Amino acid sequence: MTRRGLWIGLALAALTAVLLFVLASGFGRDPHEVPFQLRGKPAPDFTLKRLDNGAPVKLADLKGKPVVLNFWASWCGPCKVEHPVIAWGARKFGQEAQFYGVVFEDTEENARAFAGAPDPSFPQLIDDRSRMAVDYGVTGVPETYFIDAAGILRDKVAAPVDPQTLAAKIASLKRPGPVSEVVR
């Protein structure tokens, strides 16, 4: 092989390697998976009114104790399956974390009928025009966000949460550092 042929071969091999790297990095992840960019960052502040009595709830006032935010809607089938799990979590871990539901893209009337009927065990908040949901990077419902006592967004579950996962996530809020993300 001539010296020139060797260089051309090396260049082609390098280009192929780069192409393979790009393809491998692209095919290695789920294209539907939306990155969770706010992990480890301060949770966006909000002031929302409670669905039951209209009282304002401000995130800044909740600091000092972990917060679990569950986004849901009355029109969402998986939310109906998930709601009893969150209600159970609120009863079981109520001493360790503050549980709030956030109504996503729904009417107050429908949300009240949904939240009031099965179990009004944790406060529900109304998010007008879903402004706060988009601030949190919500991609759909149900999604559950975990905020530590210092107000740092530590994790999210972008799927109906099960009791084991909920217990593990709440336990992880006491440990330093981020935990794994569960994606729908």
Binding site residues, other proteins, CB under 8 A: 11-12, 15, 18-19, 22, 25, 34-35, 37-38, 73, 75-78, 104-107, 128-131, 133-141
What are the CA-CA distances from residue 115 to residues 59, 73, 83, 120 (Å)? 21, 9, 9, 6
Report the residue number, 143 or 170, with the smaller CB distance to other proteins. Answer: 143
CA nearest to 126, candidates 46, 51, 75: 51
Nearer to other proteins, 105 or 119 (CB): 105
CB of 141 to other proteins, least distance (A): 8
Minimum distance from CB of 174 to other proteins (Å)?
26
Rounded to whole angstroms, what are the CA distances from 40 to 36, 57, 102, 145, 180?
10, 23, 21, 12, 12
Q: Which residues pair with 10 in a beta bridge?
A: none
Helix (H, G, I), strand (E, B), or coil: what is residue 40? coil
| Residue number with CB closer to other proteins (66 or 137) | 137
Of 22 and 171, CB closest to other proteins: 22
β pairing state of 124-126 and 98-103: parallel
Whose Cβ is closer to other proteins: residue 76's or residue 157's? Answer: 76
The amino acid sitting at 125 is L
C-alpha to C-alpha distance for 29 and 170, rounded to whole angstroms:
27
| Shortest distance, position 176 Cβ to other proteins, whole Å | 24
**Min dist. Cβ of residue 171 to other proteins (A):** 27
Q: How far is the CB of 130 from other proteins (least distance, A)?
A: 4
The number of C-alpha atoms within 13 Å of 166 and in the hemisphere containing its C-beta is 27
